[in-house]
Amino acid sequence: MKKSVLIGLIGLLLSVSVQANDSTKVVLKTLVPESQHPVLFQLVGQILNSYHYRKVKIDDKLSSDLLDNYIENLDPGKVYFLKEDIQKFEKFRYQFDDDLLQGNVQKAFDIYNTYQTHLEDRIYFTLDLLKQDFNFSSNDSFEARREKADWPKNYKEYDALWYKKAKSEVLQLKADGKDEKTYKEILTKRYKNLLKQLSKTKNEDVYSYFANSLTELADPHTNYFSPRAAEDFNQSMSLNLEGIGAQLQTENEYTKIREIIKGGPAEKSKQLFANDKIVAVGQGKDGEMVNILDWRIDDVVSLIRGKKGTLVRLEIISHDAVNNKSKIIELVRDKILLEDQSAKCSVHEVTRNGVKERTGVIMLPNFYLDVAAMSRGDANYKSTTRDVKKLILQLKDSSIQSLVVDLRNNGGGSLQEAVELTGLFIKSGPVVQVKDAIGITKSEEDKDESITWDGPLAVLVNRFSASASEIFAAAIQDYNRGIIIGEKTYGKGTVQNLMDLNSFMMVDGIKLGQIKITIAKFYRISGGSTQFKGVIPDIEFPSIYADKEYGEEASKYALPYDEINPMKYTPAGNVKMILPELARKHEQRMKTSLEYSYLIEDIEAMKKAKAKIWYTLNEARYKNELETADKQKKEREAAKAKLKENKGGTTNLILDESCEILLDLMGK
C-alpha cells in the first residue's frame, strides 16, 4: 500500500496549457527545475545528514531507496508506468546520492515528465472508452489493489488494465442506480475535471514530491513543506480552522481521512471515521458534487474547508465498504477551537451484586497547553493538567470510587502536560526519557509530591493513541499505578522540530519553505522506547485496525524500537501482581458478551474487506455481493440496536468493561 503523504504535502499532477477550441485538449509542458531547486536539494540532504536523529547517510543505499520510493509515490497502483519505463529508470538507481551532493534534480523531473505523458494518454484513452458500451455479463474481474502486481509489459496489457479500471468505475455507478447517460456524464466530467486540475501543477510541485520522497526515507514524520504547504501546515497547527475537523492524506488516487479531530463537526456527526475515503465534494444542499479522485491534496483541503455554518456534502467510501460502494453525508462546517479540545468528565454507573457502582470518566482529546496565555501571565490559562485536576475534584464530590482516563484517539500534544498529568497520580519521580540525535539522554520528572487521585485507576487507549498519550500510559504502567486497557497504541515515540530553510540560506529573496525533522526519541523510565512498539495494554481488546497498516509499523522507514538503561523509580502500586486474575475474569465476561461478539464480527468483516484484491465486473454478481453485505450489515445493526434498547439505551463495551475490571481490582 502506498504510504501516506500528510496534509500540506503537494500532490502530483501535470502542468498543462488548455487550448481554447477544445476544453478537453491539453498540450503538456515539460516541467523543469527552477533556480532554487538544486541548492535546496543539497540543503535538505545536509540537514538530514547533520540534524536528523538517525543521521541519514548519503550513499548508494539511500539512492536506491529514493528511486523506489519516488516511483512508488508516483504510481502506487502500478497503472501509469510501463515495465520498460521502470527498466529505463534503473540506470538512475545508484546516481541519486551523487546528485544530492551536487544539487542535481533533473532526473526527478525526467521521471515525472514520463509519468505525466502516460497520465495524459490514459485520460484520453478513458474518455474514448466512455463513448462506447460495456458488457457486464462476462465473468472477468479487476485487480483493484495492485501494490504487489507488476507494471504492464506492453500497450496490449496497458489498455486491458485501463479498460477494466473504467469498467469498474462504471459498474460502481450503475449499481447505485445510475442509467447509462448519467454514469457516462459523471465519469466524463470526472476525467475532464482532472485535466483542469492538471493545469495547476508547477515546477515547485514536482520538486516537493521528490523532496518528500527523500525525507520519508529518514522517517515518516520528516517532511519538506513548500512555501504554500508551510502556510497550510502552520494554520492547521493553530486549531483555529473553519472546516469539518479532519486531517487528510493521499492514498493512491484517493483522499483519505487520516484522523478525526475531537470536538469537530466530523467527530460530532458520527458519520465520518479514520480511513474513510472521500470521492467527491459538494457545496450546500444542491451544489454539484465535484469528483476529487487524483486531485492535489491542497486543492481538496480548499474545497472542503469553508466558513462556519455552511454545509458541505461528501461522497465517501467507508473503511468497511464492500466493492467500494459509496454514500453521501452532510456536515456543517464549524471552528475547531482549543475549548472544543478540552478535557471533559462524566460519571459511569455499573451495577454489581445489585449495587450501582460509580466510576469517574475523564475524556481527554489531546494534551493541550495555551502557551501564549501562560507567557503573558494569564492566571486562567488553559492546560490539560489544570483542567483534569479540577475535574477530578468535581468527581470526588460525586462520590466516585474509581477513575478512568480515556485517551482513545488522543494523538498527543504537549510533552510538558503529559509529564505534569502523570504527577496527579504519583508522588514524584521520572516520567519519560528523551534521547537526542547526539546521544544525550535527559529525563522529564514530576517534582510535585502532591497526589490528586490515589484510588483505583484505568487508562483507555487504542491504535490512534499516540505520542504524549503513550508517554502518560507507559508511565502509569511502569509505576504499576493503574491498568492500561484497550488496543496496542500507535507507536510514535519521536520528537520533531520545524526549521525555516531561509534561516540556513537565502536564494535571491525566494522563500524556500520549511522542513519538519525528527530530532529525538522518547523512552520509558523502564528503558524501552515507545517508538514503533507502542504501549501494550494490560488487558487487550482486539482491534479493527491491523498493526501493519496503521500506526508506526505501517511505514518501512519508521525508526525502530530499541532500549536504553532504565531509571531508578519507586513503584506506586501492585497492579501487576493481580493482573492474571483480572485477565481471567475479563475473559470470562467476554465469552458471554454479545457486544464483544459483535466487535469480533466487525473485525472479521473489516479483514475480509481489506483482503479483497479482485473485484468482479459481472453486474449480477456485483449486485448480489452488495445485497448480501447490506443484508448482513442491517441484521448486525438491528441486533446491536436491540441490545442497546435492552440495556436502557446505551452501550459502551470497552468503557463498561473497564469499570468492571476496576471493580475486580477493588475486590468487589
Percentage of residues in the chain with pLDDT exceeding 70?
93
Quick one: how far is CA 566 from the chain centroid?
Answer: 32
Residue 655 CA, chain-centre distance (Å), reads 24
The C-alpha cell at 406 is 480515556
Please give the DSSP secondary-structure letter assigned to residue 599: H
478 is known as an active-site residue:
yes
Judge whether residue 500 has pLDDT over 90: yes
- For the cut 50, the answer to whether the pLDDT of residue 185 exceeds it is yes
Q: What is the mean pLDDT of residues 630-636?
A: 87
Catalytic entry in 236, 342, 414, 467? 467
**490 alpha carbon, distance to own chain's centre:** 10
Is 234 a residue whose pLDDT tops 90? no
Q: Which residue has the higher pLDDT, 506 or 313?
A: 313
Q: Is 267 helix (H, G, I), strand (E, B) or coil?
A: helix
Decide which of 468 and 241 is more confident: 468
Q: How much is the pLDDT for 242?
A: 63
Mean pLDDT of the chain: 89
pLDDT of residue 232: 66
What single-letter DSSP state applies at residue 501? G
Cell numbers 465476561 correspond to what residue? Answer: 589
Mark residue 604 as left, alpha or beta (left: phi above 0; alpha: psi -120 to 50; beta: remaining).
alpha
What is the structure's pLDDT at 649?
67
CB 319 within 8 A of CB 292: no
- SS3 assignment for 338-377: HHHHCCEEEEEEEEECCEEEEEEEEECCCECECHHHHHCC
Query: What would the pLDDT profile of 365-415 be if each residue is shown by its tens digit?
Result: 999 888 888 889 988 888 999 999 999 999 999 999 999 999 999 999 999
Share of the chain above pLDDT 90, in %: 67
Helix (H, G, I), strand (E, B) or coil at 174: helix
Longest dimension (CA), the chain: 81
Query: What are the structural domains of the chain?
Result: 5-225 (no CATH), 241-336 (2.30.42.10), 338-574 (3.90.226.10), 594-665 (no CATH)
User: CA 331 to CA 314: how far, in whole Å?
Assistant: 8
Residue 589 has pLDDT above 90, yes or no: yes
Q: Residue 180 corresponds to which cell in the numbers above?
A: 447509462
3-state secondary structure 276-291: CEEEEEEECCCCCCEE
Confidence of residue 95 (pLDDT cuts 50, 70, 90): very high
Question: Nearest 5 degrees, angle CA 380-CA 382-CA 388?
Answer: 110
- Nearest CA-CA partner of 401 in 448, 345, 361: 361
pLDDT at res. 105: 98
In which band, very low, low, confident or very high, does the pLDDT at 611 lie, cut at 50, 70 and 90?
confident
Instruction: Please check whether residue 617 is in contact with residue 164, taking contact to mean a CB–CB distance below 8 angstroms.
Output: yes
Contacts of 129 (CB under 8 A, 6+ apart): 162, 163, 166
**H or E element in which residue 597 lies:** helix 594-611
Confidence (pLDDT) at 6: 31
Cell of 336: 475547531
| Residue closest to 229 by CA, chosen among 301, 307, 306 | 301
Catalytic residue among 294, 320, 478, 656: 478
* pLDDT at site 295: 83
According to DSSP, the β-strands at 141-143 and 494-500 are unpaired
CA distance 555 to 3: 7
Could you give the CA distance from residue 511 to residue 495 in angstroms, rounded to a whole number?
A: 25
Residue 379: predicted pLDDT = 86
Q: Looking at residue 450, what is its pLDDT?
A: 95
Determine whether 492 is an active site residue.
yes
Distance CA 92, CA 60 (A): 11
Distance, CA of 473 to CA of 534 (rounded, Å): 10
Read off the C-alpha cell for 447.
517534582
- Choosing from 3, 277, 389, 492, the catalytic residue is 492
Where residue 15 falls among pLDDT bands split at 50, 70, 90?
A: very low
Question: How confident is the model at residue 243, as a pLDDT?
Answer: 81
Query: For 194-205, what is each residue's pLDDT tens digit?
Result: 877 777 788 999
- pLDDT at 10 exceeding the cut of 50: no
Q: 578: part of which helix (H) or strand (E)?
A: helix 575-591
Instruction: Note the pLDDT tens digit of each residue in 112-163.
Output: 999 999 999 999 999 999 999 999 999 999 998 898 899 999 999 999 999 9
pLDDT for the residue 7: 27
The pLDDT of residue 538 is 98
Tens-place pLDDT, residues 354-374: 999 999 999 999 998 888 888
Q: Where are the alpha helices (DSSP H) in 353-467?
A: 371-375, 384-397, 415-422
Torsion angles phi and psi, residue 384, rounded to 5 = -55, -50
What is the bridge-based pairing of β-strands 311-317 and 327-332? antiparallel
Q: What is the pLDDT of residues 240-298, one digit of tens each?
A: 446 888 888 877 778 888 878 777 888 888 899 888 899 999 999 999 898 888 787 77
For residue 501, CA distances in Å to 8, 99, 211, 227, 610 come to 17, 20, 13, 10, 40
On whether the CB atoms of residues 12 and 112 are closer than 8 A, the answer is: yes
> Residue 70: which region, alpha, beta or left (left: phi > 0; alpha: psi -120 to 50)?
alpha
Q: Any catalytic annotation for residue 270?
A: no
pTM of the shown model: 0.88
Read off the pLDDT band of 340 (50, 70, 90): low
- The answer for residues whose C-beta is within 8 angstroms of residue 97's C-beta and 6 or more apart is 58, 59, 60, 62, 63
